[in-house]
Structure 1
């Protein structure tokens, strides 16, 4: 597959204007306040018996947007002391799957929390367990256009809020060191991690957006040659005249806008032959990222798979230097 975007030297200087509505911050303050006021009870953990018997495995249910129950997994070492924690968000149409799918972080000494993505979990992997009880108007199959005519109704308003509410819940868990919480995720998960970092500021110590999706919507919708951004293209091809409303909605959910509000050190990745997430959309967020402590790993000859476990090893070294005693 050929390079899908600008040359690397141009990507490193790519700082396009990103449309931000005047009420961006007020919109998100109100959204999160509404979600917290909705209640839904405390997070619940239930220990899971199974073949993983050298780590603690727990089924998690926590209140997300609207107080809706959202599922997750917690996998962690046995410890009498609070541990550094990694919250992982999942890629597009994947679910939390099974605990055995992701043991790397727990085996490395971290509490590892995986969030199910509401309504998703049937496109790949081993399934999801969280419903999205909120409807939308007409939409293209998939999730990108659900409620896209109004920011208040847009699908990712609920998902981003779920991730912030998960952080609220995780910070109260007795085995979590609330001063050493990191966010990570690949593709959609990277985009959700980036948005969450922008919404919570210094409440997280690090963020690792891996080939992050959901950035620079204007360019991505116009130029990305593959799904899922093409869901929006197809919607606009039918709903002629909706372009202004659609892009206004998307301006509240752009990872490049959240990047300017993020305070935590960040370790991004990008793949230069990626036809699902354009490299320029990743650099649009990376080059605007607010913390001076930021790095990006470039995988020149990879598509959307990026660095895979090679990149995880780099993440583990980078994060260990910031969160594990004796590694700094």
Structure 2
């Protein structure tokens, strides 16, 4: 039995020990993380290039997207360490502080992405449902302050990960870098993880669903449009619909499966520790497999986020193309509320 068969539930009794065969992850995780690294690095670097060198006037949505892209880029740089770790079958050759930092950046990226997606969605919601009030509510200064608050919240809530993440030597002389924590700290980690999941995933997800419902109802109203301009209203609707689809896809494909399977695995693992007769080893192993399968999906959000910028951003593609072509005179267009959203 290799390192993947480590005892996951430890106490003074051996009746709750379960040994798993998780050899599949030594192929799944390195391959999937490599794909995320290559694709995500290219997309995020392109998004950063467009924002930094091709965008003259930053709107609030641009500020949120820049922070979202930076969050993803920091995480992507940690993937080579995880690729090497899992390709070497759970043998961590680096230091424990680096293990802590890698796990910390993973969860910071995860919840930072969720919160900045919420900021982008709420920003669009205000512009659609309260177009007049948004002129005074929304500004680049406030967007910067909100971004600082998001980073502070993420760093504060994920700080305990630096404590819980540990390394440990096995009987086969391998060094494990726990993606949760050491067995003796699991009960405390379960409580911490549950609170963070509710505050930084469940609540933002419910807020998004309510906002999107109100946005769709507003967009479907007859004659809706800023300033009565049909063409402008149509473009705004298209951008809003694209954003709704992309954000919901990210939540449904990347975030929701990960949180559901992780919560199930953690719960079964805790029940197995409390009373081994309640949860069989086969059931616990199945939940563990499901959880590990969804981990690459959570990482894939680093590839989805730049797509949100390019497809639902404010004139991103036209700006990028315009900079690559000879300049031509532009018709004068009167300002309208959509410049804010």
Bigger helix share: 2
State the structure with more CA Rg: 2
Bigger strand share: 1
Could you tell me the TM-score, scaled by structure 1's length? 0.26
Q: Which has the higher contact order (CA 8 A, sep 6+)?
A: 2
